[in-house]
Amino acid sequence: MPGLRRQRLPSAWALLLLPFLRLLMPAAPAPHRGSYKPVIVVHGLFDSSYSFRHLLDYINETHPGTVVTVLDLFDGRESLRPLWEQVQGFREAVVPIMEKAPEGVHLICYSQGGLVCRALLSVTDEHNVDSFISLASPQMGQYGDTDYLKWLFPTSMRSNLYRICYSPWGQEFSICNYWHDPHHDDLYLNASSFLALINGERDHPNATAWRKNFLRVGRLVLIGGPDDGVITPWQSSFFGFYDANETVLEMEEQPVYLRDSFGLKTLLARGAIVRCPVAGISHTTWHSNRTLYDTCIEPWLS
Protein backbone atom coordinates (compact mmCIF):
# COMPACT_ATOMS: atom_id res chain seq x y z
CA MET A 1 0.00 0.00 0.00
CA PRO A 2 1.27 3.57 -0.67
CA GLY A 3 3.22 5.03 2.20
CA LEU A 4 3.72 1.68 3.96
CA ARG A 5 7.47 1.65 3.51
CA ARG A 6 7.89 5.08 5.06
CA GLN A 7 6.09 3.89 8.23
CA ARG A 8 7.75 0.48 8.58
CA LEU A 9 10.09 0.13 11.56
CA PRO A 10 13.46 -1.57 11.32
CA SER A 11 13.16 -5.28 12.10
CA ALA A 12 15.16 -4.96 15.33
CA TRP A 13 12.73 -2.40 16.73
CA ALA A 14 9.80 -4.53 15.66
CA LEU A 15 11.16 -7.45 17.61
CA LEU A 16 11.63 -5.29 20.69
CA LEU A 17 8.06 -3.95 20.50
CA LEU A 18 6.37 -7.27 19.76
CA PRO A 19 5.73 -8.24 23.43
CA PHE A 20 4.06 -4.86 24.06
CA LEU A 21 1.92 -5.12 20.92
CA ARG A 22 0.62 -8.47 22.11
CA LEU A 23 -0.46 -6.88 25.37
CA LEU A 24 -2.58 -4.39 23.43
CA MET A 25 -4.40 -7.07 21.42
CA PRO A 26 -7.67 -8.50 22.76
CA ALA A 27 -7.29 -11.92 24.27
CA ALA A 28 -8.59 -14.77 22.16
CA PRO A 29 -11.25 -16.92 23.81
CA ALA A 30 -9.83 -19.98 25.47
CA PRO A 31 -10.53 -23.12 23.44
CA HIS A 32 -12.85 -25.63 25.04
CA ARG A 33 -10.90 -28.62 26.27
CA GLY A 34 -12.47 -31.98 26.84
CA SER A 35 -16.16 -32.74 26.62
CA TYR A 36 -19.04 -30.52 27.62
CA LYS A 37 -20.98 -31.32 30.76
CA PRO A 38 -24.23 -33.25 30.17
CA VAL A 39 -27.41 -31.20 29.95
CA ILE A 40 -30.68 -32.35 31.48
CA VAL A 41 -33.94 -30.69 30.41
CA VAL A 42 -37.13 -30.78 32.49
CA HIS A 43 -40.37 -29.68 30.84
CA GLY A 44 -43.30 -27.69 32.21
CA LEU A 45 -47.05 -28.00 32.55
CA PHE A 46 -48.79 -29.94 29.72
CA ASP A 47 -45.45 -30.22 27.91
CA SER A 48 -43.47 -33.14 26.55
CA SER A 49 -39.94 -33.73 25.28
CA TYR A 50 -41.06 -32.85 21.72
CA SER A 51 -41.49 -29.21 22.73
CA PHE A 52 -37.72 -28.89 23.18
CA ARG A 53 -36.58 -30.06 19.73
CA HIS A 54 -35.38 -26.54 18.83
CA LEU A 55 -33.42 -26.17 22.06
CA LEU A 56 -31.84 -29.56 21.42
CA ASP A 57 -30.79 -28.42 17.94
CA TYR A 58 -29.27 -25.20 19.33
CA ILE A 59 -27.19 -27.07 21.91
CA ASN A 60 -25.98 -29.60 19.35
CA GLU A 61 -24.99 -26.80 17.00
CA THR A 62 -23.11 -24.63 19.49
CA HIS A 63 -21.75 -27.40 21.73
CA PRO A 64 -21.34 -30.45 19.48
CA GLY A 65 -21.00 -33.73 21.30
CA THR A 66 -22.95 -32.59 24.36
CA VAL A 67 -25.06 -35.35 25.85
CA VAL A 68 -28.53 -33.83 26.19
CA THR A 69 -31.33 -35.68 27.96
CA VAL A 70 -34.84 -34.27 27.66
CA LEU A 71 -36.69 -36.23 30.32
CA ASP A 72 -39.92 -37.73 29.06
CA LEU A 73 -41.79 -38.01 32.35
CA PHE A 74 -45.15 -36.64 33.53
CA ASP A 75 -46.08 -35.50 30.02
CA GLY A 76 -49.33 -33.81 29.11
CA ARG A 77 -52.03 -34.16 31.73
CA GLU A 78 -49.70 -36.21 33.91
CA SER A 79 -47.93 -32.92 34.64
CA LEU A 80 -50.88 -32.10 36.90
CA ARG A 81 -49.75 -34.79 39.33
CA PRO A 82 -48.62 -33.48 42.76
CA LEU A 83 -45.19 -31.90 42.50
CA TRP A 84 -43.59 -34.04 45.20
CA GLU A 85 -44.54 -37.10 43.16
CA GLN A 86 -42.93 -35.52 40.12
CA VAL A 87 -39.82 -34.55 42.07
CA GLN A 88 -39.37 -38.18 43.08
CA GLY A 89 -39.84 -39.41 39.51
CA PHE A 90 -37.48 -36.88 37.98
CA ARG A 91 -34.93 -37.48 40.74
CA GLU A 92 -34.83 -41.19 39.94
CA ALA A 93 -34.02 -40.27 36.33
CA VAL A 94 -31.52 -37.51 37.08
CA VAL A 95 -29.34 -39.12 39.76
CA PRO A 96 -27.94 -41.87 37.46
CA ILE A 97 -26.96 -39.19 34.91
CA MET A 98 -25.17 -37.26 37.66
CA GLU A 99 -23.35 -40.36 38.82
CA LYS A 100 -21.92 -40.88 35.32
CA ALA A 101 -20.75 -37.24 35.11
CA PRO A 102 -18.10 -36.60 37.79
CA GLU A 103 -17.41 -33.11 36.37
CA GLY A 104 -21.03 -32.11 36.92
CA VAL A 105 -24.21 -31.51 34.92
CA HIS A 106 -26.39 -28.61 33.83
CA LEU A 107 -30.14 -28.38 34.40
CA ILE A 108 -32.45 -26.44 32.09
CA CYS A 109 -35.88 -26.40 33.68
CA TYR A 110 -38.86 -24.72 32.06
CA SER A 111 -41.92 -23.17 33.72
CA GLN A 112 -43.36 -25.59 36.31
CA GLY A 113 -40.27 -27.71 35.73
CA GLY A 114 -38.17 -24.98 37.35
CA LEU A 115 -39.94 -25.63 40.64
CA VAL A 116 -39.50 -29.38 40.22
CA CYS A 117 -35.78 -28.85 39.71
CA ARG A 118 -35.38 -26.52 42.67
CA ALA A 119 -37.03 -29.07 44.94
CA LEU A 120 -34.95 -31.83 43.37
CA LEU A 121 -31.75 -29.95 44.23
CA SER A 122 -32.98 -29.41 47.77
CA VAL A 123 -33.68 -33.07 48.48
CA THR A 124 -30.69 -34.57 46.64
CA ASP A 125 -27.59 -35.03 48.78
CA GLU A 126 -24.23 -34.61 47.04
CA HIS A 127 -25.72 -33.46 43.73
CA ASN A 128 -23.27 -32.01 41.22
CA VAL A 129 -25.32 -29.44 39.30
CA ASP A 130 -23.11 -26.71 37.88
CA SER A 131 -25.69 -24.42 36.23
CA PHE A 132 -29.36 -24.55 37.20
CA ILE A 133 -31.09 -22.58 34.45
CA SER A 134 -34.62 -21.62 35.50
CA LEU A 135 -36.46 -20.75 32.29
CA ALA A 136 -39.64 -18.70 32.79
CA SER A 137 -40.49 -20.47 36.03
CA PRO A 138 -42.84 -19.16 38.76
CA GLN A 139 -40.21 -19.53 41.46
CA MET A 140 -42.14 -17.43 43.99
CA GLY A 141 -45.49 -18.82 42.95
CA GLN A 142 -48.36 -17.96 40.65
CA TYR A 143 -51.29 -15.59 41.13
CA GLY A 144 -53.02 -14.94 37.83
CA ASP A 145 -55.89 -16.08 35.61
CA THR A 146 -54.48 -18.12 32.74
CA ASP A 147 -55.96 -20.42 30.13
CA TYR A 148 -54.55 -23.36 32.08
CA LEU A 149 -56.45 -22.39 35.19
CA LYS A 150 -59.66 -21.64 33.32
CA TRP A 151 -59.52 -25.09 31.76
CA LEU A 152 -58.83 -26.83 35.05
CA PHE A 153 -61.10 -24.74 37.30
CA PRO A 154 -63.67 -23.16 34.92
CA THR A 155 -65.86 -21.72 37.67
CA SER A 156 -63.06 -20.13 39.71
CA MET A 157 -61.20 -16.86 39.36
CA ARG A 158 -57.90 -15.99 40.97
CA SER A 159 -59.65 -14.13 43.79
CA ASN A 160 -61.40 -17.24 45.04
CA LEU A 161 -59.19 -20.06 43.80
CA TYR A 162 -57.59 -20.25 47.23
CA ARG A 163 -60.73 -22.03 48.43
CA ILE A 164 -59.81 -24.94 46.18
CA CYS A 165 -56.02 -24.77 46.16
CA TYR A 166 -55.62 -24.46 49.92
CA SER A 167 -57.67 -27.59 50.58
CA PRO A 168 -56.29 -31.15 50.82
CA TRP A 169 -58.09 -31.96 47.56
CA GLY A 170 -56.61 -28.93 45.77
CA GLN A 171 -53.06 -29.80 46.83
CA GLU A 172 -53.38 -32.95 44.70
CA PHE A 173 -52.95 -30.71 41.62
CA SER A 174 -49.52 -29.41 40.69
CA ILE A 175 -50.81 -25.90 39.93
CA CYS A 176 -52.17 -25.59 43.45
CA ASN A 177 -48.80 -26.63 44.89
CA TYR A 178 -47.43 -23.21 43.90
CA TRP A 179 -50.61 -21.12 43.97
CA HIS A 180 -49.61 -18.11 46.06
CA ASP A 181 -52.48 -15.83 47.01
CA PRO A 182 -51.01 -12.65 48.56
CA HIS A 183 -54.37 -11.85 50.17
CA HIS A 184 -54.50 -15.12 52.14
CA ASP A 185 -50.94 -15.53 53.30
CA ASP A 186 -51.84 -17.45 56.46
CA LEU A 187 -53.81 -20.01 54.50
CA TYR A 188 -50.94 -20.33 52.01
CA LEU A 189 -48.37 -20.93 54.74
CA ASN A 190 -50.50 -23.52 56.49
CA ALA A 191 -51.87 -25.34 53.45
CA SER A 192 -49.07 -25.25 50.86
CA SER A 193 -47.50 -28.70 50.82
CA PHE A 194 -44.78 -27.72 48.36
CA LEU A 195 -43.81 -24.08 47.73
CA ALA A 196 -43.94 -22.96 51.37
CA LEU A 197 -41.65 -25.89 52.22
CA ILE A 198 -38.98 -25.46 49.55
CA ASN A 199 -38.99 -21.71 50.28
CA GLY A 200 -38.35 -22.40 53.95
CA GLU A 201 -41.42 -20.33 54.84
CA ARG A 202 -42.74 -23.04 57.11
CA ASP A 203 -40.61 -24.90 59.63
CA HIS A 204 -39.92 -28.54 58.93
CA PRO A 205 -37.23 -30.97 60.12
CA ASN A 206 -35.43 -31.09 56.75
CA ALA A 207 -35.02 -27.33 56.30
CA THR A 208 -31.31 -27.18 57.19
CA ALA A 209 -30.38 -30.16 55.04
CA TRP A 210 -32.38 -28.88 52.08
CA ARG A 211 -30.71 -25.48 52.28
CA LYS A 212 -27.28 -27.08 52.39
CA ASN A 213 -28.11 -29.22 49.37
CA PHE A 214 -29.48 -26.30 47.36
CA LEU A 215 -26.34 -24.27 48.02
CA ARG A 216 -24.23 -26.93 46.31
CA VAL A 217 -25.38 -25.51 42.96
CA GLY A 218 -22.64 -23.72 41.08
CA ARG A 219 -24.81 -21.08 39.47
CA LEU A 220 -28.48 -20.11 39.38
CA VAL A 221 -29.56 -18.55 36.08
CA LEU A 222 -32.97 -16.86 36.17
CA ILE A 223 -34.71 -16.09 32.87
CA GLY A 224 -38.07 -14.41 32.29
CA GLY A 225 -39.70 -11.27 30.98
CA PRO A 226 -42.62 -8.83 31.03
CA ASP A 227 -44.31 -10.25 27.91
CA ASP A 228 -44.48 -13.82 29.19
CA GLY A 229 -48.27 -13.69 29.47
CA VAL A 230 -48.58 -16.68 31.82
CA ILE A 231 -46.26 -16.25 34.83
CA THR A 232 -48.03 -13.77 37.12
CA PRO A 233 -46.43 -11.62 38.24
CA TRP A 234 -43.72 -12.15 35.65
CA GLN A 235 -41.16 -11.11 38.28
CA SER A 236 -41.83 -14.44 40.00
CA SER A 237 -39.29 -15.84 37.53
CA PHE A 238 -36.74 -13.72 39.43
CA PHE A 239 -38.10 -14.45 42.93
CA GLY A 240 -40.13 -11.25 43.00
CA PHE A 241 -43.78 -11.34 44.05
CA TYR A 242 -46.81 -9.35 45.14
CA ASP A 243 -47.32 -7.97 48.61
CA ALA A 244 -50.82 -7.75 50.09
CA ASN A 245 -51.52 -4.67 47.95
CA GLU A 246 -50.40 -6.47 44.78
CA THR A 247 -47.32 -4.30 44.54
CA VAL A 248 -44.41 -6.35 43.26
CA LEU A 249 -41.48 -6.62 45.65
CA GLU A 250 -38.22 -7.66 44.04
CA MET A 251 -36.17 -10.61 45.27
CA GLU A 252 -34.04 -8.55 47.64
CA GLU A 253 -37.21 -7.33 49.39
CA GLN A 254 -38.72 -10.77 49.89
CA PRO A 255 -38.72 -12.25 53.42
CA VAL A 256 -37.27 -15.53 52.10
CA TYR A 257 -34.28 -13.56 50.81
CA LEU A 258 -33.87 -11.37 53.87
CA ARG A 259 -33.97 -14.43 56.14
CA ASP A 260 -31.89 -16.43 53.64
CA SER A 261 -34.29 -19.25 54.39
CA PHE A 262 -33.14 -21.52 51.57
CA GLY A 263 -29.95 -19.83 50.40
CA LEU A 264 -30.85 -17.04 47.94
CA LYS A 265 -28.95 -14.35 49.84
CA THR A 266 -25.91 -16.58 50.16
CA LEU A 267 -25.94 -17.37 46.44
CA LEU A 268 -26.16 -13.69 45.51
CA ALA A 269 -23.35 -12.78 47.91
CA ARG A 270 -21.01 -15.24 46.23
CA GLY A 271 -21.95 -13.97 42.77
CA ALA A 272 -23.74 -17.17 41.80
CA ILE A 273 -27.06 -15.66 40.63
CA VAL A 274 -27.41 -14.51 37.02
CA ARG A 275 -30.56 -12.60 36.03
CA CYS A 276 -31.50 -12.42 32.36
CA PRO A 277 -34.74 -10.47 31.79
CA VAL A 278 -35.86 -10.37 28.15
CA ALA A 279 -38.86 -8.54 26.69
CA GLY A 280 -40.89 -9.62 23.69
CA ILE A 281 -41.04 -13.38 24.36
CA SER A 282 -44.29 -15.19 25.14
CA HIS A 283 -44.42 -18.08 27.57
CA THR A 284 -44.60 -20.90 25.04
CA THR A 285 -41.67 -19.68 22.95
CA TRP A 286 -38.89 -19.31 25.52
CA HIS A 287 -37.27 -22.62 24.63
CA SER A 288 -37.43 -22.05 20.85
CA ASN A 289 -36.09 -18.47 20.67
CA ARG A 290 -32.56 -18.57 19.26
CA THR A 291 -31.56 -15.09 20.41
CA LEU A 292 -32.65 -15.94 23.95
CA TYR A 293 -30.62 -19.15 23.80
CA ASP A 294 -27.49 -17.36 22.57
CA THR A 295 -27.80 -14.62 25.19
CA CYS A 296 -29.07 -16.31 28.33
CA ILE A 297 -28.47 -20.07 28.09
CA GLU A 298 -25.47 -20.94 25.92
CA PRO A 299 -22.90 -18.93 27.95
CA TRP A 300 -23.56 -21.12 31.00
CA LEU A 301 -23.29 -24.52 29.34
CA SER A 302 -19.63 -25.25 30.02
Catalytic one among 134, 228, 237, 261?
Answer: 228
Catalytic residue among 43, 106, 184, 283: 283
Strand 248-249, strand 241-242: pairing? antiparallel
The helix or strand, by DSSP H or E, that contains position 70, with its residue range, turns out to be: strand 68-70
64 residue type, one letter: P
Reply yes or no: is the peptide bond before residue 233 cis, omega within 30 of 0. yes
For residue 29, the SS3 value is coil
CB 84 within 8 A of CB 194: yes
| CA proximity to 142, closest of 234, 250, 77 | 234
Our answer to whether residue 111 is catalytic in this structure is: yes
User: Could you give the CA distance from residue 80 to residue 74 in angstroms, rounded to a whole number?
Assistant: 8
Q: Which of 79, 111, 137, 174 is catalytic?
A: 111
Whole-angstrom Cα distance, residue 139 to residue 24? 44
CB 158 within 8 A of CB 149: yes
- Catalytic annotation present for 63: no
Q: Is-catalytic flag, 227?
A: no
The answer to whether the beta carbons of residues 47 and 115 sit under 8 Å apart is no
Catalytic site positions:
111, 228, 283
